Structure formats: C-alpha cells, structure tokens
C-alpha cells in the first residue's frame, strides 16, 4: 500500500486472515470543515459507472444543534475531495417530520442499483436511507442519475416509523443499514430501535425500499456483560450468502 498521506485520510485495510491494519495517514479529510464538528457515520460505495469511491456522512454544527449529510469522493479510497452538503432539513426540500428545531439528519445508508447490463449504466441509480426528526424515524431519498449526485426525498417519508405503544421500538427508530438482496428480490434493513430505555437492533424487509414489514422482535439484543445497555448502530454486508454485521 502507498502510504503517501497527501490526502490526510484515515483508511483501515484488512489482510483477509489476521484482522485489520490502520493506515498511517491521519483523519478523514477535514478541508472546509473548520466551522463544524467534522464528518462521521460514513457509508461508502464504489460507483462502477463513475470509477470512483463515494462517501456520505454526517456533519454537525459546532454546537451540535443541527446536522446534515455531506458527500466526498475519491479515485483510490485514500485521497478525498472536500465534503459538500447534499441533504439537510431544508435541502433539496423541507419535510415537516424532519423537524424545524431539531434538524438532525444523520446516519446515511446508500446503495447503488443497476437497472441494465454491465455495459449500459445509463439507467443506474442510488438510494439513501437516513434518520431525522424528533422522535427519530427513517426517511429515504433517491438519486436518478448514475453519478448519485442529485437527491430527491421520498414524498412518503418517513418510510420506517417508530412502533406502537408498548413495543420494543415504540420510542424511536434510527441508524439504518440497508442492502438489496438480489436472490430474494427484497430490500433488507437493520436499524436501532428504542423503547425509551433499551437500544437494540431490529430488522425489516421491503419489496421497494419504501413499504417495510418489521420483524416483531429485535434481532440483536442487549447482553449481560459489556453490552448490557445497548446493541446498536449495525453496519451489515452480504458477502456471498452470509450476512456480516459490525
């Protein structure tokens, strides 16, 4: 690996057997973020039509009163462009559920969808799920160009809402991690649910990424030792047939 750190990024690479190695470079690029608390909660794809890595993450104001979703890109995963805002409570549109005083859009999960053959990416598009509002619930946005640069919020937002009174996620739903399972032709989401006391991980499926059917109980629950308070913030990948969660 080339350890030229001109891009001032923090990249962790796995060697496949013994675990993970952290890059010697610094923190993820922080250019033009001096008036904020930086960028975190990243979701990353490799866009095959654009031949580049794309990253979306949360950026918070210095007082953490508001947050929005910003975007950065890289040709090699090491040197990244300066982040720019792509989704906030006021852009590209305003939706009441996101809140006027609690404008905290965060935890994006983005997937790239291929509509045609590998040689024709003109109809490819991207989808994003994120949480916002008070209480926290989950919305969706879509980018109909294969560069995944221009987003439209779903008019039916929020698409995944908190549970009914007395259920395990009755207080809030947040922190989505979404995949599209080609084999089952279903969208699958893992999310953080709260009843006001416990924070655990739930699961739901959807034929279109908008209408979701929840599993009635959390799929990752609190433990009895170090994890006795919360089991949250899932990031799920499908590698061959098994799912892997961090």
**β-pairing verdict for 186-194 and 172-181:** antiparallel
The structure's pTM equals 0.82
pLDDT digits (tens, 9 = 90+) for 36-49: 667 888 888 888 88
pLDDT of residue 136: 93
Q: Is the pLDDT of residue 20 over 50?
A: yes
Is the pLDDT assigned to residue 173 strictly greater than 60?
A: yes
The model's pLDDT over 186-236, given as tens digits with 9 standing for 90+, comes to 999 999 999 998 888 999 999 999 999 999 999 877 666 666 666 666 766
Q: Report whether pLDDT(1) > 50.
A: no
Percent of the chain predicted with pLDDT > 70: 70
| 132, pLDDT greater than 90 | yes
In the structure, what pLDDT confidence band is assigned to residue 4 with cuts at 50, 70 and 90? very low
The Cα 229–Cα 222 span in angstroms is 6
Asked if 200 contacts 218 with a C-beta cutoff of 8 angstroms, the reply is: yes
Q: How confident is the model at residue 99 (pLDDT cuts 50, 70, 90)?
A: confident
- 189-214 burial string, b = 16+ CB within 10 Å, else e? bbbbbbbeebbbbbbbebeebbebeb
Neighbour-count burial of 151, counting CB atoms closer than 10 A to its CB (0-12 exposed, 13-18 middle, 19+ buried): buried
* CA gap 55, 7 in Å, rounded: 15
- Asked which of 22-26, 72-76, 121-125, 189-193 is least confident by mean pLDDT, the reply is 22-26
Whole-number average pLDDT of the chain: 80
pLDDT at 235: 67
Residue among 126, 164, 116 nearest 147 (CA): 126
């Amino acid at each position: 690996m080339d350890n030229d750190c001109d891009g001032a990024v923090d990249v962790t690479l796995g060697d496949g057997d013994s675990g993970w190695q952290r890059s010697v470079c610094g923190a993820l690029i922080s250019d033009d973020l001096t008036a904020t608390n930086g960028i975190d909660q990243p979701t990353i794809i490799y866009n095959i039509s654009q031949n580049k890595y794309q990253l979306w993450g949360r950026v918070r104001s210095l007082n953490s009163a508001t947050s929005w979703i910003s975007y950065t890109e890289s040709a090699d995963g090491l040197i990244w462009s300066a982040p720019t805002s792509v989704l906030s409570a006021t852009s590209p549109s305003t939706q009441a559920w996101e809140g006027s005083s609690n404008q905290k859009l965060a935890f994006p999960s983005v997937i790239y969808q291929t509509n045609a053959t590998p040689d024709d990416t003109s109809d490819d598009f991207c989808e994003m799920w994120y949480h916002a509002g008070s209480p926290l619930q989950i919305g969706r946005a879509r980018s109909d160009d294969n560069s995944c640069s221009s987003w439209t919020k779903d008019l039916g937002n929020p698409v995944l809402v908190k549970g009914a009174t007395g259920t395990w996620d009755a207080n809030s739903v947040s922190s989505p991690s979404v995949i599209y399972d080609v084999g089952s032709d279903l969208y699958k989401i893992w999310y953080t649910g709260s009843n006001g006391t416990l924070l655990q991980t739930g699961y739901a499926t959807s034929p279109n990424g908008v209408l979701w059917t929840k599993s009635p109980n959390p799929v990752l629950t609190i433990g009895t030792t170090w994890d006795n308070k919360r089991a949250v913030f899932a990031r799920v990948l499908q590698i061959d047939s098994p799912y892997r969660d961090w």
